Amino acid sequence: MNPLLTLSSLGQSVWYDNIQRSMLSSGMLQRLVEDDDLKGVTSNPSIFEKAINGSSDYDDALATLRSDDPNATSRELFFSLAIEDIQAAADVLRPVYDASNGKDGMISLEVGPDLAHDTDGTIAEGRELWERVNRPNLMIKVPATREGLGAIQTLIADGININVTLLFSTQRHQEVMDAYLSGLEARLKAGQPINKIASVASFFISRVDSAIDDMLDNAKTEDESLRKKANSLKGKIAIANAKVSYQNYKEVFGSERFQQLHEAGAQTQRLLWASTGTKNPNYSDVLYVETLIGPDTVNTMPPATFDAVRSHGHPHLTLEHGVDLARFQINMLPEVGIDLDSVTEELEIQGVDVFAKSFDTLLEAIDNKLRSADFKNAASA
């Protein structure tokens, strides 16, 4: 059996961490849904930057948009281009959405990363994008910054599906779940339905190991036992961090607080494993898939990881194996001089910065295309 189909049978939804116009025009996305049981798509500023800056797929549409509105800014043009893709992908995924009763079949669109520390700006842009896309299977992506928490709560209360992104720490995950539940409670109190709201908490995986492994390699100690401990933790902390968060998820969504919401039709806020491409060539290319398989979860895979799982994955339930060991491994970090909270805080800062730089590069690329002689000639032809 196709290993991707096995993941579905084990209760984990497979999403695709990539979007490009050619995927839609060629029918590729439709084939992934039909052949691999693909259940969703995620995007981010870096993905759109590579798609728009790295291909000519968008040139004709960009020329049309510029012709229709000569005064549109590069930011406005980008969102117009992105919304066209998001709407088309949402339409391909709509049967999945309907068949899953609004649990899967989602496509995500992120608010501008320059708003990561602007609660009101995030709320305003989230509402605007939701209205413009006008698809029930859209998720608005909001970074899990401290300022993002209030936006998450408000947008959930508005009835908007939210993908909480750039989540690295178990503590911030607790705060994200509280924001989700508070948003549902506020909406229910206002007499509004909550049975059609979906949300995922996108927990980043491989970036944690990349940071921690470097620190373990650089751990300076003359104590042989500590050196052995440091070596034993390499490639383990990202998975351990995720396993602990899943236990926290089960506790929160098994609570009486959520039960009252569930009786009104609320869904759980599933954990979504993001950044699951393996960055260390010494590790298996399916490491961050095969070690994190469990019910009511999502794994959004970049294309190379998706292909690798299809080719040689061996899925089985693993997410709740070795939970005590995972806690033990995390508790060992201070012994080798590593503060996991500080690491995850820095990763959040870096993540916001990476997306912001990709967004700036994207807008600059759009400006450059609009100024180029070839583009002007094509637009006027």
Which residues are identified as catalytic?
Answer: 141
Q: Which residues contact 374 (CB under 8 A, 6 or more apart)?
A: none
CA angle 369, 373, 377 (to 5 degrees): 100
Q: Which residues of 168-177 are buried (b: 16+ CB within 10 A; e: fewer)?
A: bbbebbebbb
Q: Which of 155, 154, 176 is nearest to 165 (CA)?
A: 176
CA distance 218 to 343: 14
SS3 at position 117: coil
CA distance 331 to 334: 7
Token pair listed for 172: 């911030």
CA distance 41 to 109: 10
Output the DSSP codes for 44-101.
-HHHHHHHHHS-STTHHHHHHHHHH-TT--HHHHHHHHHHHHHHHHHHHHHHHHHHTT
CA distance 154 to 217: 43
CA distance 133 to 86: 7
Give the Cβ contact number of residue 213 at 10 Å. Answer: 21
Q: DSSP label at 111?
A: P
- Helix, strand, coil shares of the chain, percent, nearest 5, are 60, 10, 30
Interhelix angle 74-99/340-371, nearest 10 degrees: 120
